[in-house]
Structure 1
Amino acid sequence: MIHIHFIVNPIAGTGDNKINIKFLEGHFSKDRYTLSVKNSVYKKHAVKLTQESIKEGAKIIIACGGDGTINEVASCIIGTSVILGVIPLGSGNGLASNLKISKNIQKAISLIKKQDVKKIDIGSLNGNYFFSNTGVGFDALVIKNYEASNGRKLLSYIKGTLKSLRDIKYDREFDVCLNNENLVLKPFMIFVSNSNVLGYNVSLTPKASLQDGLLDVLIVSRLNSFKVLLFCLLMIFKKHHLLKEVKSYQTKKITINQKDSSFYDMQIDGEHRTIDDSNIEIYIQEQTLSIIA
């Protein structure tokens, strides 16, 4: 018997998904699969549920939600023999898009049943894992404002972006080191990605790969109001690199330090996090996660 546990975020995306035991039993035969469905009810609850599933002997754990849910589930699987599966139910679904996992639930289930497993790289940030991307600056501010709106649709992202455009400040100086290059800047954004899709078919790092052993880094220097709007417009068409303030790098490790503060507002896989440390070290861990894709 194959023990499959489904960790479901019931409010992901539109919040009307149909992932329950009755629905799943129509797709997984009882003579081959043992199923368990667990719904998360608060932030980080998926971590506890996944840890329980591992103790209960789950062989495959399916994260049913967006990139935040995937992060909570996958972070617990690192270092175990458990295989991760994904049913993308979120708003952006960046990692699932990169892995070509369909947003159609039936198609995603068919992929799970095939069990074609691949090993992918993961990112590590001061003891936190990320699987798609992380960042400090404008993108983190957008996520912070998006979460504060309590919405889960594209309109909420747009509202969060517009508020962030008004709120962006350049009051913190960062020392950044990557590839033996030292930079001192007050940036618009420092974006570090393992995946080539941000969500909603938007990409800041279109050349990023989950299996190349490298992180793709986008550093955007301070922008005036006109260039901020221009950057957002160019980003939609994947032409943001045309601005001279935008620099792209590939690296295995990047360190960020700020002398005037001991915390960072960051986003990790589309979730707002506060990191209480003046020094940030981000690096790649190659071929670490087994995932059905």
Structure 2
Amino acid sequence: MNKKTIQFIVNPFSGWSSKEGLRDDINRELDHDLFDYVYTETESKGHAIQLAKEAVDRNTDIVVACGGDGTVNEVAQSLVDTQSILGILPGGSGNGFAMHIGWGRNIKKALRKLGQAETKVIDSCTVNNKFFLNLAGVGFDALIAYKADSGTKRGLQMYLGMISKEMLKFKAEKFHVKIDDETIEGNFTTIAVANAAMYGYNFTIAPSADLTDGFLDIVFVHEAPLLRTISSSWRMLNNSLDKSALVSIKRSKEVTITAENPYYFHLDGESFTFEKDLHFKINPKSIKVLFPQSN
């Protein structure tokens, strides 16, 4: 049986206990009867994009993003419409996409599961021609992404503290949203545009998101008094945000969000700014991804 080739693209600044420990785990837990592997590390933001392109050029069978959602984003965008398959070793803080598709947080278990993993072809997305795989959006979540990018610490405790602090002074912005022939206007706490379901830490913003349906889930969290917003937000932990009276969800292949003032947006947890319009688009069945085998 011919072995498959794997390239591990490791973000050394993610939440690994040590890079040496990760490499030891790969040597111990990977099935070397099935795989030959190459180990590479990123040196700067954006470097994983180039490393993944080079892996594709070498006809590498599986390219594994080792890091958080940002690393997954960089690797994945180079694999769109290619024969190379995206794998994930979750090493970031939230790991939203990895959690959504079932990889969990245990690196050793994830490595052992690679040999029995299933390949699925899923949708990917763009916003103003920037790639994303998991989630994008504007509003409070984009503000938190911006604040997190500006800080030096990560982790659940940091995010919860930041959310508590910023929510007390947050003011919803007015947005105009065009979905097909419908225009929606109003003040929204958050508008999330989802391919997958969760931010990370099991905070599920789009409970019905489906990676293979060819549609974006557009989640509107309407402006409300603070206590109602907090109460609604906790629904993200039990997968029931769509049951909140503050939330409405639309589905479409494309959506345009227009802001009245320059504002933040995020994609896969990374923060950006925009002047006026954001145009989101689904790219159906465009990337091959490894999923842990269904039980």
The normalised TM-score by structure 2 is 0.88
In the alignment of these two chains, the number of paired residues is 288
**1:126 correspondence with 2:128:** yes
In structure 2, the partner of 1:116 is: 118
Hey, what's the Cα distance between the residues in 2 that align with 1:118 and 1:55? 21
Residue 161 (structure 1) shift: 0.8
CA contact (8 A) 2:34 2:115 kept: no
Hey, what's the Cα distance between the residues in 2 that align with 1:32 and 1:222? 52
Task: Determine helix, strand or coil for the equivalent of 2:188.
Answer: coil
Hey, what's the Cα distance between the residues in 1 that align with 2:88 and 2:279? 28
Hey, what's the Cα distance between the residues in 1 that align with 2:199 and 2:32? 37
CA contact (8 A) 1:145 1:164 kept: no
Deviation per CA, 1:23-61: give whole Å up to 9, x if none.
433345667643211122332222232223333442211
In structure 2, the partner of 1:94 is: 96
* Structure with more of its chain in strand, by fraction: 2
Task: Determine helix, strand or coil for the equivalent of 1:81.
Answer: coil
**1:286 correspondence with 2:284:** yes
In structure 2, the partner of 1:49 is: 51
In structure 2, the partner of 1:3 is: 5
In structure 2, the partner of 1:271 is: 270
Hey, what's the Cα distance between the residues in 1 that align with 2:43 and 2:72? 15
Hey, what's the Cα distance between the residues in 2 that align with 1:239 and 1:79? 34
Equivalent AA in structure 1 for residue 277 of structure 2: N
CA contact (8 A) 1:6 1:61 kept: yes
Q: 1:264 to 1:51 in 2, by over 3 A?
A: farther
Instruction: Pick which of 245-254 and 117-126 moved more.
Output: 245-254
Equivalent AA in structure 2 for residue 287 of structure 1: K
Task: Determine helix, strand or coil for the equivalent of 1:108.
Answer: helix
Hey, what's the Cα distance between the residues in 2 that align with 1:220 and 1:115? 36
Residue 116 (structure 1) shift: 2.2
Instruction: Pick which of 241-250 and 3-12 moved more.
Output: 241-250
In structure 2, the partner of 1:168 is: 170
Deviation per CA, 1:65-93: give whole Å up to 9, x if none.
11111111001111222111111122222
Task: Determine helix, strand or coil for the equivalent of 2:192.
Answer: strand
In structure 2, the partner of 1:218 is: 219
Percent identity between matched residues is 30
**1:227 correspondence with 2:225:** no
Q: 2:22 aligns with which of 19, 24, 46?
A: 19
Hey, what's the Cα distance between the residues in 1 that align with 2:82 and 2:169? 42
Deviation per CA, 1:148-188: give whole Å up to 9, x if none.
23112111111221232134233x43210114221112211
Hey, what's the Cα distance between the residues in 2 that align with 1:169 and 1:33? 52
CA contact (8 A) 2:206 2:241 kept: no
Hey, what's the Cα distance between the residues in 2 that align with 1:96 and 1:216? 19
CA contact (8 A) 2:145 2:269 kept: yes
Unaligned runs of 5+ in 1: none
Q: 1:223 to 1:41 in 2, by over 3 A?
A: farther
> Superposition RMSD on alpha carbons, in Å?
2.2
In structure 1, the partner of 2:72 is: 70
In structure 2, the partner of 1:255 is: 256
**1:178 correspondence with 2:179:** yes
Residue 229 (structure 1) shift: 2.4
Hey, what's the Cα distance between the residues in 2 that align with 1:48 and 1:113? 26
Unaligned runs of 5+ in 2: none
